[in-house]
Amino acid sequence: MNKKEARETIKARLPKNQRVPSDFVHKVAPFLTGNVLSYFPLEDELDISSLNQYLWQQGRLYFPKIVGDELQVYKVVELEPLHKSVMGTYICQKAIPASSIDIGTILVPSLGVDLFFHRLGRNRGYYDRFLKGVDGAIPRLSFVYKEQLCLTLPIDPWDEPLDKIFVF
């Protein structure tokens, strides 16, 4: 199976109206060190909005912004208002440029993950390029629904692995 087929297979088995457990933030918060580079989830990704709110209230929320072929880091000043960015993602209008050295934990969006800590993204390589350029000691976490967990995924030499996967 190639990556395109894997994406189609995973999307097809995702049930509509997935729910995040009420204790989601409580379960994952102990694993979040320092400032956290998070993201706004797309509709087929686990909804981490409650976690983003929690991090923002603590002043630890950072988001990526796609500029050209790379991800740039921004500290979130206010969660609202949002505007649509590249690939259907959202960014906060009130955010200030920051650096990856400000980050203690990276949350990585995943369409799918496997038992070897590989992830399947959106086929543009933004996160793989970003992760390759940051300190490898910074934990890389991903949150997925159980339907997004695979035994194995097709990988390429440039794919960057995760450190921890939370399955709900």
Residue 116 domain boundaries: 3-12+36-99+108-146+156-167
Answer whether residue 138 is part of any domain.
Answer: yes
What phi, psi does 117 have (nearest 5°)?
Answer: 70, 25
Given a contact cutoff of 8 angstroms between Cβ atoms, the answer to whether 76 and 51 are in contact is: no
The pTM for the full model equals 0.93
Residues 98 and 30: their CA atoms lie apart, in Å, by 24
- State yes or no: pLDDT of 88 exceeds 70: no
Answer whether residue 48 is part of any domain.
Answer: yes
Answer whether residue 18 is part of any domain.
Answer: no
Residue 34: exposed, middle, or buried by beta-carbon count in 10 A (0-12, 13-18, 19+)? exposed
Answer whether residue 26 is part of any domain.
Answer: no
| Helices of type H across the chain | 3-13, 24-28, 49-57, 126-132
Each residue's pLDDT tens digit, 47-77: 999 999 999 999 999 999 988 889 999 999 9
Q: What is the CATH number of the domain that holds 52?
A: 3.40.50.10420
Which residues, 6+ apart, have CB-to-CB distance to 129 below 8 Å? Answer: 69, 70, 71, 158
Residue type, 84: K
> How many domains does one find in the chain?
1
State the pLDDT at residue 3: 96
